[in-house]
């Protein structure tokens, strides 16, 4: 059986699957597949459901398929609130992991310099920055950088396509695409998750879902951090 190309997602790597196995490949030095493999293995050791790593080396990551349906897939109306609640509980569980035990650093001292050397993805999930120059966005990023980071273990790309759930129980069965996992401000995950719940790509959710997610997580919206971390994610 030949490898089937997977076109969903925006990881930048070439993804294919065959017989319950997923393969990511990339020659781009900015895409650290070996680092993603190490993060998946670390997550599994913490008891978080993540894909088993079958092969991991520079430019190649091979993982076993995890069960469940993506939170981005169509869900019955009566199940959508349960999916949102499960996403919030997953976020709480990740953020409760001891940061001293996490070897991966995604603090602003790391991610802002990375952004300075990266392109801006104006075709990304949010259209709010389209029509603005890179220089304008860099200036805004630097001017609005938070002075304080509320550090936890973050997934780093906690959008609904990256969370799988059991279709019967709506319990989280898998977390994928963890290449940006590390110690960071909790609003990295909260900003990206709430954006993912409100953009047009996921019309089954909406503002109600973002509000429910934050309430279930246990915080009020921090609009300044939401805007900053969504902008940072565009780089």
Three-state secondary-structure class, residue 183: strand
Tokens of 117: 């050397």
Tell me which residue of 170, 184, 3 sits closest to 73, measured CA to CA: 170
Tokens of 35: 């680092």
φ and ψ of 225, to 5 deg: -70, -35
Q: Are 197 and 205 in contact (CB under 8 A)?
A: yes
| Catalytic option among 32, 121, 157, 200 | 157
Rounded CA Rg of the chain: 17
157 catalytic residue (yes or no)? yes
232 CB-near residues (< 8 Å, 6+ apart): 111, 112, 115, 141, 188
DSSP 3-state helix, strand, coil percentages of the chain (rounded to 5)?
40, 15, 45
Burial of 216 (0-12, 13-18, 19+ CB in 10 A): middle
Question: Which residues are the active-site residues?
Answer: 157
């Amino acid at each position: 059986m030949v490898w089937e190309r997977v076109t969903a997602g925006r990881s930048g790597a070439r993804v294919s699957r065959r017989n319950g196995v997923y393969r990511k490949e990339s020659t781009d030095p900015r895409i650290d597949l070996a680092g993603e493999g190490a993060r998946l293995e670390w997550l599994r050791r913490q008891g978080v459901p993540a894909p088993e790593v079958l092969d991991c080396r520079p430019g190649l990551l091979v993982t076993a398929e995890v069960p469940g349906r993506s939170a981005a897939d169509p869900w019955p109306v009566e199940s959508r609130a349960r999916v949102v609640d499960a996403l919030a509980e997953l976020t709480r569980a990740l953020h409760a992991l001891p940061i001293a035990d996490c070897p991966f650093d995604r603090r602003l001292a790391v991610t802002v310099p990375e952004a300075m050397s990266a392109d801006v993805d104006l075709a990304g999930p949010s259209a709010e920055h389209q029509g603005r120059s890179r220089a304008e966005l860099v200036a805004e990023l630097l001017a609005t950088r938070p002075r304080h980071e509320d550090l936890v273990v973050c997934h780093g790309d906690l959008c609904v396509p990256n969370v799988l759930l059991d279709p019967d129980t709506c319990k989280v069965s898998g977390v994928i695409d963890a290449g940006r996992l590390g110690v960071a401000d909790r609003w990295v995950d909260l900003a990206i998750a709430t954006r993912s719940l409100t953009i047009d790509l996921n019309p089954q959710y909406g503002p109600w879902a973002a509000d429910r997610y934050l309430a279930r997580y246990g915080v009020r919206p921090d609009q300044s951090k939401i805007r900053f971390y969504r902008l940072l994610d565009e780089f």
